Amino acid sequence: MYLIITEKETAAKRIAAILAEDKVKRVRYPNLGIETYEFKYKDYEKTVVMGLSGHIVGIDFPKEYNNWQKTSPKELIDADIRRIITNRKIVNAIKLIGKNAKKVTIATDYDREGELIGVEALELIQEVNPDVEYDRALYSALTPKDIKHAFENLTEVNFALASAGHSREVIDLVWGAVLTRYISLSAGRLGKLFLSVGRVQSPTLALIVEREKERDAFVPVPYSEIEANLETSGKETFIAGYKSGRIYDKEEAKKVFAKVEKSKTAKVISIEEKERSEKPPIPFNTTEFYVAANSIGITVNSAKRTYQTLYESGYLSYPRTDSTIYPETLDLKALIEMFLGTEFDAYAKELLKLPKLEPTAGKKTDPAHPPIHPVSVASKKDLKEEEWKIYELVVRRFFATFAKEAQWKTVRVQIDIEDELFRSNGSTLVDEGWRKYYPYNKPDDRILPNLSENEILKVKSANHYEKETQPPGRYGQGRLIRIMDELGLGTKATRADIINKLVSRYYIHGNPLQPTKTAYAVIDTLEKYSPEIVRTTMTKLLEKDMDKISEGEIDEETVLNESRRLLLEIYEELEKNSEDVEESLRLGLIEDKTVGQCSICESDLIIRRSKKGGRFIGCNGYPDCNFALPLPPKGQIIVTDKACEEHGLFKIKIMNAGKRPWDLGCPQCNFEEWEKTRDDKEDEKNEEGEILIRENEPVGFIPGIGKVYEKKLNDIGIKTAGELKKESASEIANKTEIPKKRIQNWQKKIA
């Protein structure tokens, strides 16, 4: 029997369909909860393709290290790391099937993680079948051409690459566990509220916090802008601005505006026309793809997930690549020709008319995978909306790399108004070139009237704008990914996950990304008492060492020992300042819970928990002052930096994993709005003494409604508790198949 191992079930199904000489037989293993695909292939009596579920084994510390409060974090630095089974059913299945295999081909994704997943599966098979033959299939797309070529040119398993992947697992586990436990214990934040610290995560968070500090420290500088609205003899109008743009001297601005405001005419002094060429973009690598997807409104995490689906469906090439140079082995003409007769027919025909296909090229190469590109045709009607957006983005970028430069005509006009120089610039796209294929984020034309030197214009009006300089902008997800790439933080495969982790840990929110007060507290403490954790130098060094493992230049154990040595130095530095670390964290975290000042006694209003576990905003002046505001029972509370103009309290967001943030806003305004909707203020609790859910809160906040039920309710248009309350329980039950009695119980919990 010939066994082929893939990373996921979807890849197994597709590879089986491509390689099979006859029909593919799907075989279920009910007791193990898996499916395999069997067929006839070459001289093998039976060929089986089996998909894993990513990593089926992992690593962890022995159980005796599990108690955070009984085990010193320092003990974890040199603790044994054990292999643990993360998916028992698939492990049992792979041993059962692999026991009878004559040969095994590893066909997982070709990168560090994919190679490690494949080697993990191989080692499990070797436990029950030590003499089994094995090899490796390498491919960059799940297309018939790529898969057949891979299986006709099988190669060796890259154990060095798998070791590099394994070293990352060990290093990230140890660093994360040691530092997370130490910081969480110091801050008294355990359980679900633990403070996560990581080798790549923390330097990335430091970038976001540092940018926010720059914004906090920014002092705006006032300046003026003066514009004149001009009209030609043909009644065409345009705007001209003062020569320097910004005028920082207030008196100078007043003098200039006084002249222009009184003037009736203006004179064209000079006209300068030029042509400007705009080069087409280079091919997508992973980083540039994320940047482009984010620029059209798709989050990095969503872009990653959607692209993976398109890759597994055989539409796009492998998603994780550094390359921006198409390899000579790629049949570029054939890839363009496949779009003839599709939604992209006209574009494909135009490119094929070119005398020679000469694509642009960047500076990065990746020996494992080519740049991101389409590998088969998809139709808009066959894909979901976001899938089509991603597919179209990739196709258009691919086309644009072959197109000619875009040509712009620029005009610069200088105008005299009462001996003051004004300027106006125009630009027109005269030849779309590559922008015809890739229209995203195209600058608008700025068209000026046809003017001539010494022409007299009418001054219709003048405007004096008083403005202020703006702080540096926050990082968007795409921009942060690019900066991480430039600084060597993480890899093409991990950067999107790092950002997602920072969001899930409630360190950052929004896009552009804004840090919470918790992020400030953690990063400020680390920068003060162990700056190496938040600098890029150390993590960059370890990344290079892991690259050397994959290239066979250094062994894994050497890198792991060096990693432990670095971590021990950092830990001892923190421990030396343990009291200061604890105080710094606790003071910083108090700010994260401070909502503003009490309107009665001016003490701080703090987010608190009642003895029964409920949450509320309470006054620090208690018991002398008992002012309080209620809070929703579920979700992570984020105190933003935006204050309510009426009450002066910071506005609040409620974050729930996997859901859109709920902007609760000012807690005082929210409470007052809730009170207006109540017929009777005594209805605050139901008969069972439970605090009732407010009508404007999401249905997911109602006890008993989890993600599945929330989605069912959302799908029929019920998103708030008030909407659930108004609808008939019977009608909801008919539409959603949720038991009527359960719906009625939920409705009783709504104010």
Q: Looking at residues 87-102, what average pLDDT do you find? A: 93
Do 522 and 456 share a domain, yes or no? no
pLDDT band at 677 (very low <50, low <70, confident <90, very high): low
Together in a domain, 343 and 254: no
pLDDT band at 134 (very low <50, low <70, confident <90, very high): very high
CA 730 – CA 561 distance, rounded (Å):
64
Q: Helix 578-593 crosses helix 517-529 at what angle (to 10 degrees)?
A: 160
35 and 134 co-located in one domain:
yes
Stated as kind and residue range, the H or E segment containing 540 is: helix 536-550
One domain for residues 732 and 628: no
527 is a domain residue: yes
What Cα–Cα distance (Å) separates residue 429 from each residue in 358, 403, 500, 742? 23, 15, 39, 61
Q: Does residue 261 lie within any of the structural domains?
A: yes
Answer whether 710's CB lies under 8 Å from 704's CB: no
In a domain, 483, yes or no: no
Residues 290 and 369 in one domain: yes
Q: Residue 253 falls within a domain, yes or no? A: yes
Asked if residue 264 belongs to a domain, the reply is: yes
- How far apart are the C-alpha atoms of 59 and 567, rounded to whole Å? 19
SS3 59: strand
| Residues 224/246, Cβ–Cβ less than 8 Å | yes
User: Which CB contacts under 8 angstroms, 24+ apart, belong to 613-621?
Assistant: 614/691, 617/667
Residues 613 and 377: their CA atoms lie apart, in Å, by 55
Q: Are residues 110 and 200 located together in one domain of the fold?
A: no
Q: Is there a domain that residue 345 lies in? A: yes
- Average pLDDT of 506-511? 87
Residue 351 near residue 429, CB atoms below 8 Å = no
| CATH at 131 | 3.40.50.140
User: 3-state DSSP call for residue 316?
Assistant: strand
As annotated, the active-site residues are 318
Task: Report the 10 Å Cβ neighbour count for 366.
Answer: 20
pLDDT of residue 682: 47
Same domain? 47 vs 111: yes
* 678 confidence band (pLDDT: 50, 70, 90): low
Strands 628-630 and 636-643: unpaired
Query: pLDDT tens for residues 230-274?
Result: 999 889 999 999 999 999 999 999 999 999 999 999 999 999 999
Express each pLDDT in 398-412 by its tens digit: 999 999 999 999 999
**Within this chain, do residues 11 and 127 fall inside the same structural domain, yes or no?**
yes
Contact between 271 and 453 (Cβ < 8 Å): yes
Q: How does DSSP assign 484-506, residue by residue? A: HHHHT-S-TTTHHHHHHHHHHTT
For residue 633 the two structure tokens come to 């029972």
Q: Of 244, 225, 242, which Cα lies nearest the Cα of 418?
A: 242
Question: Is it true that the peptide bond before 623 is cis, omega within 30 degrees of 0?
Answer: yes
| Residues 128 and 39 placed together within one structural domain of the fold | yes
Model confidence over 412-467: pLDDT tens digits? Answer: 999 999 999 999 999 999 999 999 999 999 888 999 999 999 999 999 999 999 99
Q: Count of H helices and E strands in the chain?
A: 23, 23
Residue 690 pLDDT: 60
Query: pTM for this structure?
Result: 0.83
The gap between the terminal CA atoms of the chain, to the nearest Å, is 64
pLDDT at 679: 47
Residue 31 lies in a domain: yes
> H-type helices in 1-139, by residue range?
9-19, 88-98, 112-128
Position 722 confidence tier, pLDDT thresholds 50, 70, 90? confident
Q: What is the pLDDT of residue 429?
A: 95
User: Which own/partner contact pairs does 665-672 have at CB distance under 8 Å and 24+ positions apart?
Assistant: 667/595, 667/617, 667/629, 667/631, 668/599, 668/629, 668/644, 669/644, 670/696, 671/629, 671/630
611-620 tens-digit pLDDT: 777 789 999 8
Tell me what pLDDT residue 586 has: 87
Read off the CATH number of the domain in which 264 is found.
Answer: 2.70.20.10
Q: Which domain holds residue 538?
A: 167-217+492-586
Q: Regarding predicted confidence, which is higher, 730 or 162? A: 162
Report in angstroms the alpha-carbon separations of 122 from 1, 12, 106, 168: 15, 16, 8, 20
| Residues in the chain, overall count | 751
CA distance 58 to 116: 10
pLDDT at 683 over 60: no
Does residue 297 share a domain with residue 436?
no
Q: Does residue 312 have a pLDDT over 70?
A: yes
3-state secondary structure of 179: helix
Q: Which residue has the tokens 């309350």?
A: 725
Residues 349 and 372 in one domain: yes
Q: Are strands 34-41 and 25-29 parallel, antiparallel or unpaired?
A: antiparallel
685: pLDDT strictly greater than 80: no
Asked if 77 contacts 178 with a C-beta cutoff of 8 angstroms, the reply is: yes
Q: Which of 555, 586, 617 is the last residue of a domain?
A: 586
Instruction: Decide: 399 and 372 in contact? Cβ < 8 Å.
Output: no
Tell me what the mean pLDDT of segment 90-109 comes to: 95
pLDDT single digits (tens) 28-81: 987 887 899 999 998 888 999 999 988 999 999 999 999 898 899 999 999 999
| Residue of higher predicted confidence among 633 and 410 | 410
Average pLDDT, the chain: 91
Contact present, 664 and 670 (Cβ < 8 Å) = yes
Taking CA atoms, 694 is separated from 11, 112, 750, in Å, by: 46, 49, 6
Residue 724 in domain? yes
Same-domain pairing of 298 and 368: yes
* 512 cis-preceded (ω within 30 degrees of 0): yes
- Write out pLDDT tens, residues 1-28: 999 999 999 999 999 999 998 899 999 9
Mean pLDDT of 663-674: 86
**Domain with 735 in it: what CATH number?**
1.10.150.20
Q: 654 or 325: which carries more pLDDT confidence?
A: 325
Residue 457 has what pLDDT?
95
Using 50, 70 and 90 to split pLDDT, how confident is the model at 159?
Answer: very high
* Domain end residue (candidates: 641, 669, 697): 669
Quote the number of domains for the chain: 6
In terms of Cβ atoms closer than 10 Å to its own Cβ (0-12, 13-18, 19+), residue 414 is middle
- Give the rounded percent of residues in the chain with a pLDDT score beyond 90: 69
Q: Give backbone dihedrals phi and psi of 124, rounded to 5 degrees, phi first.
A: -65, -40
Task: Dig out the tokens for 409 from the structure.
Answer: 């005509």
Interatomic CA distance for residues 442 and 206, integer angstroms: 33
The separation between CA 307 and the C-alpha centre of its own chain, rounded to angstroms, equals: 13
What does the pLDDT look like over 539-592, one tens digit per residue? Answer: 888 989 999 999 999 999 999 999 999 999 999 999 999 999 999 998 888 877
H or E element at residue 210: helix 201-217
Residue finishing a domain among 616, 643, 669: 669
User: Percent of the chain at pLDDT above 70?
Assistant: 98
